[in-house]
Structure formats: C-alpha cells, structure tokens
Homo-oligomer: A and B are copies of this chain.
Amino acid sequence: MPTTSFTEQELDNIYAFAVQLGKNAGKLLLDIAQSRWKGEETQKVAEKDSSVDIVTKADEVDVEVFIKTSISQKYPDHAFVGEESYSRGPSRHYLISDSTPTWCVDPLDGTVNYTHMFPMFCVSIAFVVGGRPVIGVVSAPLLGQLFTACRGRGAWLNETHRLPLLRDPTIPPLPAGAPTGCVFSCEWGKDRKDHPHGNLYRKVESFLNMAAELGGRGGKGGMVHGVRSLGSATMDLAYTAMGAFDIWWEGGCWEWDVAAGIAILQEAGGLITTANPPEDPSTAQIEDVGLGSRLYLAIRPAGPSATESGREGQERTVREVWRRVRNLDYDRPGT
C-alpha cells in the first residue's frame, strides 16, 4: 500500500490541511476573479499593454505561489509539482517520484473558462504517495462546489453529500447497452491542426462514433444520451465521480490536471484507465492508468445489476468505448 509510510492519524492531518488549503486557494481565486468584475484589472491590463490572457497568467502564478508557500511551510520535506512552476522549468519529463510524497497542484484548471468568466474553473490540489494520488481537493469557487476525497474516507461534495450523489439505496448500475444511455464527456483541446491523422480528427471521429445512431458508422454508433464539453479536465473528473457523467475520454492533459480528480473519482468508486484502445479491446487487461500517461478514460462509480457486478459493468463500458475511439497521439518523455 502506498500510504503505509503515513499513519492514519498523519493522513487525517494532511487531509484536513489539504481541504483548508483548497478552500483558502479557492477563496483567493474568487477574490481575484471578482476584482475583474469591479474593473480593478483595468490598471493591470493597461500596464502590461496586453490581453486578458496575460492577466489570467498573473492570477495563476499568484494562486500557485500561495499554495506552494503554504505547503512548504507546513511540510518542508514534501515535494511539489505545480502547473506554473513546471511550465517555466526546463523539463517535460514526469517529475513525480515514487519515493517522495508529492503535492501535485493546478492553481487554475479551466484557464479559458476563467478568462471568459464561465464558472467551470477550479483549483486542483492532490497529495501523491508512492506515485498514486491519495488525497484530492478541488474547489470551483464560482460554482460554490468543493470536491474532497482521501483514501478510505469517501469522496464528498461540499463536505456533506457523499459521491456519487445517486447512491441510496444503491448506486445505479451502468446501462445495459452502454454507451447508449450514457452521458459522454470529452474535450476539443488545443491541438487544432487540420491534418487527417492529427489529434483533432482522431477526436472528432471518436466523438461522432459515440454520438451516432446505433448501427451507424459501420457498427460503431454508440447513441450516447448526451455529449458534454466543459473545458476543464478536473471538473470532468469531478462530475464523473459525482455520477453526472458516465464516461470521460481525453488525451493531452498533464498530471496536475487530473491528480486530484483521480483521487476523488477512485475514492467514489470510479475506474480510470487509458484512453487508447489496446490491440484487442475485448480481452485486454484493464489496468489503472499511470498518473503521467496523458491518456485517460474514466467511468463513473457503478452498482451491481441483476447480471453483473459494478466493476464488471465498468469494464464492459471501457471495452465498448475502446471499440469506438481512435488512438490519440500524445507522448511523454520519461514514461
């Protein structure tokens, strides 16, 4: 067990610290955002003589510095990997070691949303032990939503509603005809090259297969209940943990985009594996995804049906998605 280096009491303490840190960072982000409504950014933009993107970048840096400082004061021996520090660093290698407890932080996931003040943005804080996220805290302050989880302690919305939301008396099984009946969450991403073998076309072909009528697209039509794109990998994972999305499929994210979301999803009972279909989707082993893999397929928590366990339903759904999607082309030095 990756958490064996911490006692349960130590883990409780770190979890409490992480939750409070998430609340504080969310509050800071909201305060900065609201100052934009009040016109207080005008001076800032004028000084920099540039676009709102640059202001957003400054906001991100402020929040990351706050989080990093808070952590290093409380836990000077822990490592820190943050979106902002990483982007400015020289390496694109995966930097989370199995031997050092590491905080993996995105001070602002859903940057485009934040720039436009669409509420689907958040602070994402994960605590990773032995290479696996064991604590996740996601604060989406403009939505008033706080998602928290720690291994063995359940996953929660606003500290009051256990995830998934629909769980009493039982968590609903996945639909018998999945992906039909499922809400499918996916993102268009930043790679927009007009190239038939580029990621844009690989994605759109996959989206189309999932959406098209049953029997269509050469048998690949999945007739999902709905297709959703929020522009935030972290929020996609949080809503999959909540049970609102049945399937999330995405490539190209980095570990800080997903670490907290994975902790929350897994603690809620969800499954996360790789986005790219193996050679034989119908028989391949379904393994947990590596944190730095950049390729993710998540399935919501599921209860048993009359004919299968929740895990069997999740694995069946994974195979049905793999049958309909193309390989995405995102690589990673060092993995």
Instruction: Indicate which residue in B36, B188, B212, B216 contacts A211 across the interface (CB closer than 8 Å).
Output: B188
**Top-3 shortest CB links A-B:** A194-B216, A39-B168, A118-B244
Instruction: Tell me how many chains of this kind the complex includes.
Output: 2
Per the 8 Å Cβ criterion, residues 203-235 of A in contact with B are 204, 207-208, 211-213, 215-217, 221, 223, 225-231
Contact, CB under 8 Å: A113 / B244: yes
Chain B proximity mask over A184-206: 1 for CB below 8 Å, otherwise 0: 00001000111000001000100
Determine chain A's interface SS by DSSP, over half rule: loop
- Would you give the 0/1 interface string for A149-174, flagging 1 where the beta carbon is closer than 8 Å to chain B? 00000000000010001111100100
Asked whether A211 lies within 8 Å of B192 as measured between CB atoms, the reply is: yes
Contact, CB under 8 Å: B37 / A168: yes
CB-CB under 8 A from A117, the residues of chain B are 165-166, 242-244
Tell me whether A248 is interfacial, beta carbon within 8 Å. no
Bound complex: CA A116 to CA B227 (Å): 12
Answer whether residue A144 sits at the interface, using C-beta atoms and an 8 A cutoff: yes
Q: Is the CB of B183 within 8 A of A227?
A: no
Q: Which of B37, B213, B226, B231 is within 8 Å of A231, CB to CB?
A: B226
At the interface, yes or no: A2 with Cβ under 8 Å from chain B? Answer: no
